[in-house]
A and B are shown apart, each in its own frame.
Chain A
Amino acid sequence: MPSSKFDADNTIAIFSFPLPSLTNYSLLANLATIISHIYPRVIIFTGNFIKHLPLIIDDLRLSNKKNIQIYDFKYKLFSRDNPTSLLTRFFVYIKIQASFIVAVLKLHSKFRTALFFIGIPHMLPSLIFLRLLGKKIILY
């Protein structure tokens, strides 16, 4: 078996939309911890994960850290009480959508299974694209 196919079969991608609440990052860390003991490689696609890492590091304490890779595109949605204009929010939303699509285009050959976690309705374009590429899709 070619090694790239072997790697893809043993890799799972977790897609999580970067919603503002810290709780979401904590839940993502919890899920990644469990999955990192089942799959040899876990790639997390989200925004602002690295920035939140110091706050959720305890949630990753029991993870198999060497199995986790993070594709972080440094954007997240603004919280509802953030005084940002509607136009700025719209642009950030578009940037996040574009980041997901770019990430999928770049890395889809590295995994066979994609798990969609938080903010599923916002990630439908990526999900459809992955489905067309024949990936196995799991929803949380």
Chain B
Amino acid sequence: MTQAAIAIAGVTKGYAGHLAVSDLTLTVPRGSIFGLLGPNGAGKTTTLRMVMNVLGPDSGTIEILGRPADDSARDRIGYMPEERGLYPRMLLEDQLVFFAEMKGTPRAEARRRIPAWLERLGLEDKWRRRRVNELSKGMQRKAQFIATVLHDPEILILDEPMSGLDPVAADGMREALLELSRQGKTLVLSSHQMETVERLCDRVALLDRGEKLLDGSVVEVKRCHGPNSIALAYQGDGAFLGSLPGVIGLTDHGQFAELRLAAGADPQRILGAVAGRLQVRRFEIVEPSLHDIFVAQVTGHAAADA
């Protein structure tokens, strides 16, 4: 299977006065877990809406599983918005059946699939006949997830899937996502939580103000956007760290600092400079985190425009 799950080519979409998405080309490979990143107003939502055929692009093409993004294509997608997304006064079971029906799944079939999903996400059976507004936030999030997957879509688009979940529930959600991925589903996560994306996704794309800043596998992105950085755990006054030669960026937490190095800078010399002035507890040469790449790229993009 060589074709892409989602292929966006040269897509532009403008609203009155400004471009929400500008000449975007992006490929989400089949079976990948794809992180779509970007600050607010980057064009993530507009892009996802075009993928689901809610909006039409001004120019460019979008293909879903090798076919144009039309009404029949969106039945093969499941979409979970960031929050809520359920009728507050409807019984959970009726609601789940209804949303599956909206994607073309027969009612009886949808009803048959519900108990397994409830069990898998740790929702007790008694909640099946309760109104959604009686459920806790975390339970609502799980319910929403079931509503997204019940019609067995090939592509899942999830907006901030981990938000509002306690650590145990977040683990459960991660398990469910990985399980779906193992089944060959394609997952697109839109998120601000870099840690989630870093641990879960194999590919990422970064958008800012309608433009794609970078795109590729997580490993690739990290390699291309090293210079390496240094993780340093220390005790003492670290105020001088940012002004060391070869250091171009610093995130200082007081006892822990992340130093980004200029291309060609020698970590050994920095170790030497630091060792004399601080009590070093850990010194590690690491790849930059996605968070750092994200911030560097977005601020660089803003500076280039200014």
A pairs with B = no
